[in-house]
């Protein structure tokens, strides 16, 4: 069964547009070059319909907030608690015509090349958050308080494609003690490493305990390990029972390139923030039929579809919230 | 109009003295220091809440510079108020205060899992299931009457909303034809979005909204104040008429207003705090009496109680699932 990944759904917080507006007016002005930006995500969550036992899968959201620009005053809150960072680049065009005519394919290719370069150079081993690199195109219509935007979340395609067996609930295969041990280990891992390390990690399974380490420790950490003990883990934004989230795609590309892996167990780490509850986590085995040495940068996909389900930009209309003349209408 | 009003609110806030002495039991109001203590306790108990500093130019000097307000993000809101089924205890618990202005604690049980009197539940685990079940049965009939009434109210409101022109005009999106050069090859490893099936129609169709919820300190009313920013399932910001769909009908357009957030240059829906002090005083008294324990309600528990109270105003915004009992 071909392994299918649950795509990202962009989630821009409205105050982000305000921050962008300020940047545009005070700093960028007419400069429309690429700027670094930082997004973040939570692990996948299911929400319970109040008063019932029915749960609903929430989208895998990649969020942009007020801390999105690097040298912000608001350093302490750049990524909220229980989130994982995703670095991106934003191009804010000056006119709607620029926004339409911009060479999107070239920008996408540039981003993909960066990801591939980070993988082959080993930079992404040291800083795995680079695997989440995304591209954002924006046009801010400051007079009308309208913001046009389009995200791309490039994912390298594997040829041949990864296949997977069915995803298993962690609770079905591990004892509560072992799960709790994993939770403690991951907690410690997150506390002792940089946020850029937090979303991707290695897990070594022994009889009834587990150990967690950084990707860069692969060789020493897994030295002498049986293949069955090796697990790669990632913070999984998907809440689906049958599919992992998007960040795993580039992680698999990385481990295949770096360690020539053709078969590996994967831990989809999913937590309920603040509850010490990781029972929604899943484990499955991913594999490719044979190892093909990759020479050039693989093809990639990842433009986000809009609300109409088409490849195209989205619009955030904040006039009702920011426009002084419109605000008067809603005043009570 | 609105800007004049905002200037007035601004001056009024500026002139109000900062509350110094604790009198939360007498008045239900809290000082900025108590707000910070209660906020710290909330963040400790429910780590999905966090402190933020907000706009540097809008810092209030009576609050810690990194602790200007509280926020929790991406709170799911799966149904509209009108879709809520009145299956469990929906007694309207009238919080007595000065006559006509009294807050009505409708569906107070909905989110917190018990009537307002059991707010102590967050501190006190005892649950009398039998009594609760009995009470549920008693109010079921009443709740059904209410449901009809609410449908009627909704129908009226729907008509009002039709012409308010608040909904973003999707025609304004740049012509899609301009982008038709954008084609991606079909990718077998991308999970296609689930198409809504026939079975999903009707009551089952879910518009999964999410909310960012803010709590600020209102210096004039000397109470916390809750702000809401909502997004639809496609992550488009909700306009006020849509947000009102998630507010209990008893409050929509009466106590929920659209005003400028004190720490962001943006207008948000806010639950007006004019009665918060009085209601919080009643709730705190009730909790204290019912518990009859030596240990009185502590001021750092204030925000936990406050959030339970707010659940009755916005019953479908389920931030409460993050609060561990």
| pLDDT tops 90 at residue B207 | no
- pLDDT number for residue A325: 65
Q: What is the pLDDT of residues B138-150, one digit of tens each?
A: 333 333 333 333 3
Using CA atoms, how far apart are residues B230 and B246, in angstroms rounded to an integer? Answer: 10
Using CA atoms, how far apart are residues A285 and A173, in angstroms rounded to an integer? Answer: 13
% of chain A with per-residue pLDDT over 90: 73
| pLDDT tops 50 at residue A48 | yes
Average pLDDT, chain A: 91
More confident residue, B219 or A234: A234
Highest mean pLDDT among B27-31, B161-165, B263-267, B312-316: B27-31
% of chain B with per-residue pLDDT over 70: 60
The model's confidence at residue B321, banded by pLDDT at 50, 70 and 90, is low
- pLDDT number for residue B178: 56
More confident residue, A144 or B286: A144
Average pLDDT over residues A39-57: 84
| Residues of B whose CB is below 8 A from A311 | 179, 182-184
Kindly determine whether residue A50 and residue B170, on different chains, have CB atoms separated by under 8 Å.
no
Q: Would you call B182 an interface residue with chain A, using a CB distance cutoff of 8 Å?
A: yes
Using CA atoms, how far apart are residues A86 and A199, in angstroms rounded to an integer? Answer: 9
Instruction: Kindly list the structural domains of chain A, giving each domain's residue range(s) and its CATH number in brackets, ordered by start.
Output: 9-157+296-330 (3.40.140.70), 163-287 (3.40.140.100)
Considering the entire predicted model, what is its pTM? 0.81
Q: What is the pLDDT of residues A230-285, one digit of tens each?
A: 999 999 999 999 999 999 999 999 999 999 999 999 999 999 887 889 999 999 99
| Residues of A whose CB is below 8 A from B54 | 74
Q: What is the pLDDT of residues A74-92, one digit of tens each?
A: 454 467 888 999 999 999 9
> Which strand (E) or helix (H) includes residue B216?
strand B209-218
- pLDDT number for residue B234: 85
Under 8 Å CB pairs connecting chains A and B tally to 200
B212 Cβ contact partners less than 8 Å away, ≥ 6 residues apart: A13, B71, B72, B73, B74, B75, B228, B229, B230
Average pLDDT, chain B: 70
Kindly determine whether residue B265 and residue A146, on different chains, have CB atoms separated by under 8 Å.
no
| Residues of A whose CB is below 8 A from B46 | 274
The model's confidence at residue B130, banded by pLDDT at 50, 70 and 90, is very low
Kindly determine whether residue B322 and residue A310, on different chains, have CB atoms separated by under 8 Å.
no
The model's confidence at residue A50, banded by pLDDT at 50, 70 and 90, is low
């Amino acid at each position: 069964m071909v392994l299918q990944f649950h795509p990202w759904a962009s989630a821009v917080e409205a105050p982000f547009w305000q921050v962008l507006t300020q940047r545009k007016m005070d700093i960028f002005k007419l400069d429309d070059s690429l700027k670094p930006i930082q997004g973040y995500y939570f692990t996948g969550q299911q929400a319970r319909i109040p008063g019932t036992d029915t749960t609903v899968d929430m989208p895998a959201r990649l969020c942009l907030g007020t801390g999105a620009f690097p040298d912000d005053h608001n350093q302490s809150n750049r990524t909220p608690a229980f989130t994982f960072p995703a670095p991106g680049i934003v191009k804010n065009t000056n006119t709607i015509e620029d926004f339409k005519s911009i060479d999107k394919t070239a920008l996408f290719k540039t981003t993909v090349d960066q990801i591939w370069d980070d993988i082959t150079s080993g930079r992404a081993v040291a800083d795995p958050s680079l695997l989440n690199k995304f591209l954002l195109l924006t046009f801010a219509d400051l007079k009308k308080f309208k913001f046009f935007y389009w995200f791309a979340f490039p994912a390298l395609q594997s040829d041949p494609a990864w296949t997977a067996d069915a995803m298993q609930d962690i609770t079905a295969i591990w004892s509560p003690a072992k799960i709790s041990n994993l939770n403690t280990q991951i907690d410690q891992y997150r506390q002792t490493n940089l946020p850029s390390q937090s979303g991707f990690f290695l897990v070594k399974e022994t009889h009834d305990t587990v150990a967690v380490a950084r990707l860069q420790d692969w060789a020493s950490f897994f030295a002498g390990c049986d293949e069955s003990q090796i697990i790669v883990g990632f913070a999984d934004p998907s809440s689906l029972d049958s599919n992992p989230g998007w960040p795993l795609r580039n992680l698999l590309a990385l481990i295949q390139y770096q360690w020539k892996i053709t078969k590996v167990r994967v831990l989809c780490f999913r937590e309920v923030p603040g509850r010490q509850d990781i029972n929604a986590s899943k484990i499955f085995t991913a594999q490719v039929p044979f190892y093909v040495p990759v020479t050039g940068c693989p093809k990639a996909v990842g433009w986000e579809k809009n609300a109409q389900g088409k490849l195209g930009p989205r619009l955030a209309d904040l006039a009702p919230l920011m426009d002084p003349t419109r605000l008067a209408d809603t005043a009570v | 109009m609105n800007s004049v009003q905002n200037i007035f609110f601004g001056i009024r806030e500026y002139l109000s003295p900062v509350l110094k002495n604790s009198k939360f039991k007498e008045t239900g109001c809290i000082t900025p220091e108590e707000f910070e203590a209660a906020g710290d306790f909330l963040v400790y108990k429910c780590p999905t809440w966090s402190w933020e500093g907000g706009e540097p130019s809008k810092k209030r000097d009576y609050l810690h510079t990194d602790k200007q307000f509280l926020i929790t993000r991406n709170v799911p809101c799966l149904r509209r108020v009108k879709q809520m089924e009145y299956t469990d205890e929906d007694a309207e618990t009238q919080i007595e205060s000065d006559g006509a202005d009294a807050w009505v604690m409708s569906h107070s049980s909905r989110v917190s899992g018990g009537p307002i009197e059991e707010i102590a539940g967050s501190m006190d685990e005892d649950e009398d299931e039998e009594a609760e079940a009995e009470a549920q049965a008693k109010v079921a009939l009443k709740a059904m009457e209410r449901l009809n009434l609410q449908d009627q109210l909704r129908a009226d409101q729907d008509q009002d909303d039709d012409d308010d022109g608040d909904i973003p005009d999707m025609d304004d999106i740049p012509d899609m034809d301009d982008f038709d050069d954008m084609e991606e090859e079909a990718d077998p490893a991308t999970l296609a979005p689930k198409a809504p099936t026939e079975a999903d129609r009707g009551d089952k169709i879910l518009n999964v909204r999410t909310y960012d919820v803010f709590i600020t300190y209102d210096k004039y009313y000397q109470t916390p104040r809750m702000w809401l920013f909502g997004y639809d399932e496609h992550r488009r910001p909700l306009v006020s008429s849509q947000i009102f769909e998630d507010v209990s009908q008893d409050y929509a357009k009466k106590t929920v207003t659209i005003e400028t957030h004190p720490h962001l240059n943006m207008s948000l829906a806010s639950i007006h705090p004019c009665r918060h002090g009085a209601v919080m005083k009643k709730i705190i008294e009730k909790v204290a009496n019912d518990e009859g324990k030596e240990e009185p309600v502590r001021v750092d528990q204030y925000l936990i109680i406050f959030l339970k109270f707010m659940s009755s105003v916005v019953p479908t915004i389920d931030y409460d699932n993050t609060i561990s009992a």
